Structure 1
Amino acid sequence: MSRLRRPDYLDRALRGGYPEAVRRPSHRRRARFFESYISDLINRDVKQVSDIERPADMRRLLNVLCGRMGSLVVIDNISQGLGLPRSTVKRYIDLLELVYVIRRIPAWSSNVTTRAVATPNLLVVDSGLGGHLAGLSPSRAANVTAPVGPLLENFVLGELARQLTWSEEPVRLYHFEALPTR
């Protein structure tokens, strides 16, 4: 039986996997790293692959996406909530996926056509970064009513995604959305 408890799992998920973040001993220092990382990512890395008009809008979008970890990526809802054109939100999400900050997980269906058009789920590639941008600190996450389910789900999916790269078999991640029962 595992001796790890809820706080241990939350600490691991909030620490993330970036070596620079893992090496930092305190939440405050990791938070500074994540802020610097996001600033560099948007102002340097993203700009190398595409000209974005308003970097602040991409940051706002990333905050919203991290707040919706594990949720369906419904571009119209995100666009409306941010007051940004749908085309901008879609393009920015594509860019964030291109620079490996997020990953869309397709919906599972036995029908290949349905699978191709169904709404994907969102994985933030690093759970520490996702937790930081979602506003989850260790003290906030320690509260038993804190919404940590999406963070832990994201952490597990991220670990699975990493391990899939070692698999000799071609394996893919999917999400399953059960239909509501009547």
Structure 2
Amino acid sequence: MIRRIVSGAIQENFFKKKAILLLGPRQVGKTTLLRQLAETGSSGVLYLNCDEPDVREDLQNTTSTALRVLLGDKQVVFIDEAQRVPGIGLTLKLLVDQFPDVQVIATGSSALELAGGVQESLAGRKFEYHLYPLSTAEMVAHTSRRDEQRLLEQRLIYGLYPEIVNHPAESARRLLELVDGTLYKDALALQDVRKPAVLQKLLVALALQVGSEISYYELGQTVGTDPVTVERYITLLEQSYVLFQVGALSRNLRNELKKSKKVYFYDNGIRNALIKNFNPLALRNDSGALWENFMISERIKFNHYAGLRPNYYFWRTHAQQEIDWIEEANGQLLAIEFKWNAKAKARIPNTFLQAYPDATPVGITPENYLQFLI
């Protein structure tokens, strides 16, 4: 069993009269992790799977009396896929307020309904955590630095979903099944998505442009819809933890890009499954993009689990000068260039250094990447 970094922090907050929420995409191990934690040292666990209609009915528009009957003498109530219950926020509030000695744990794979319905109801009553696909730090702790360095190309192509890591010989088939079976499920359920085919085309188009600046208008032309729909669908995909957008840093120079965005995927394997390309790096022309996406998604995991919340940007000017990744924390800028070719020298443009003289430049290659992620 690969130990998840966040498990210790979650366990420390058991029985503190607050609900524990664990958010993240499907199939990253939320259920496995919380069932392990819930069953540690407690014989009274009530497991409620909200994929089941009768469970949703029990939890929707309920009362404290009905909840008392449902709980019985259980010490822990584990509500899986809680976002599927309309008004789940009020139910969770009732559980926390009326049953202070019961530990409430809820998982959700879509941020909009779970977080949106819970923020007001559970203000001051919750601990919230995010779980991503396995991180490089977790894998190094499970295996070793040497093993992860040897498996780097595997990670760049197939990613770090637990099922993929545990079944490397079946990675391609399982990734394709994951994309077809669950990737769109939450985005389609979040709102009235009237054009699921457009959503799928959009995902493929975004996968082909990973690490590049995107245009809602041009994407709309490509997939056959309007820019407003493109923006809404990308937001849904963000809320389903499939991908994320990064904006441009623009403060000091007149010719800095101001409103541009880039898109990255939380997992390289998902990205490659969308374009159905699992070729080895020697046969690809997107190795640099894969390296950039991998390093950025891993860095986000590292910062999140370390309790760090920097602002993220890229930087580019109209003159095509650019920096891959910028982190801003406590007024300090970290300017990072990712180079898949270890012999290629990372260069931070002098224009940037003159405009932001206090920034710290960093070059990341396969030779030094682990120190950036663990």
* TM-score in same-fold range (> 0.5): yes
Higher relative contact order (CA 8 A, sep 6+): 1
Residue 23 in structure 1 maps to residue 162 in structure 2: no
SS at match of 2:316: coil
Residue 11 in structure 1 maps to residue 150 in structure 2: no
Give the corresponding residue for 1:102. 243
Structure with the higher fraction of residues in helix conformation? 1
What is the CA distance between 1:116 and its match in structure 2? 10
The question of whether the paired residues in 2 share the 8 Å contact of 1:42 and 1:59 is answered with: no
The correspondence for 1:72, drawn from 182, 200, 213, is: 213
CA displacement, residues 16-47 of structure 1 (integer Å, 9 cap, x when unaligned):
12111222222xx3233223222333553123
Distance of 1:180 and 1:8 partners within structure 2: 38
Distance of 2:157 and 2:296 partners within structure 1: 14
- Bigger CA drift: 9-18 or 121-130? 9-18
SS at match of 2:173: helix
Give the corresponding residue for 2:188. 47
The question of whether the paired residues in 1 share the 8 Å contact of 2:179 and 2:274 is answered with: no
Residue 142 in structure 1 maps to residue 282 in structure 2: yes
* TM-score for the superposition, normalised by structure 1: 0.81
The question of whether the paired residues in 1 share the 8 Å contact of 2:244 and 2:265 is answered with: yes
What is the CA distance between 1:172 and its match in structure 2? 2.3
Task: Check 1:135–1:40 CA distance in 2 against 1; reply closer, same or farther (3 A cut).
Answer: closer
The correspondence for 1:129, drawn from 247, 260, 270, is: 270
Number of paired residues? 174
Distance of 1:8 and 1:178 partners within structure 2: 36
Task: Check 1:15–1:3 CA distance in 2 against 1; reply closer, same or farther (3 A cut).
Answer: same
SS at match of 2:213: coil
What is the CA distance between 1:133 and its match in structure 2? 1.8
**Structure with max Cα Rg:** 2
Which letter maps to 1:157?
I
The question of whether the paired residues in 1 share the 8 Å contact of 2:256 and 2:317 is answered with: no
Task: Check 1:116–1:94 CA distance in 2 against 1; reply closer, same or farther (3 A cut).
Answer: farther
What is the CA distance between 1:110 and its match in structure 2? 2.9
Which ranges of structure 2 fall in alignment gaps of 5 or more residues? 1-144, 322-374
The question of whether the paired residues in 2 share the 8 Å contact of 1:10 and 1:138 is answered with: no
Give the corresponding residue for 2:6. none
What is the CA distance between 1:54 and its match in structure 2? 2.2
The correspondence for 1:60, drawn from 184, 194, 201, is: 201
Distance of 1:120 and 1:165 partners within structure 2: 21
Give the corresponding residue for 1:166. 305
Calculate percent identity across the aligned residue pairs. Answer: 26
Distance of 2:182 and 2:311 partners within structure 1: 27
Distance of 2:301 and 2:320 partners within structure 1: 34
* TM-score for the superposition, normalised by structure 2: 0.42
What is the CA distance between 1:119 and its match in structure 2? 1.1
Residue 153 in structure 1 maps to residue 292 in structure 2: yes
Residue 81 in structure 1 maps to residue 222 in structure 2: yes
Task: Check 1:49–1:155 CA distance in 2 against 1; reply closer, same or farther (3 A cut).
Answer: same
Which ranges of structure 1 fall in alignment gaps of 5 or more residues? none
- How much is the aligned-residue C-alpha RMSD, in angstroms? 2.9
Distance of 2:227 and 2:209 partners within structure 1: 17
What is the CA distance between 1:132 and its match in structure 2? 2.2
The question of whether the paired residues in 1 share the 8 Å contact of 2:212 and 2:262 is answered with: yes
SS at match of 1:106: strand
- Bigger CA drift: 14-23 or 40-49? 40-49
Give the corresponding residue for 2:319. 180
What is the CA distance between 1:96 and its match in structure 2? 0.5
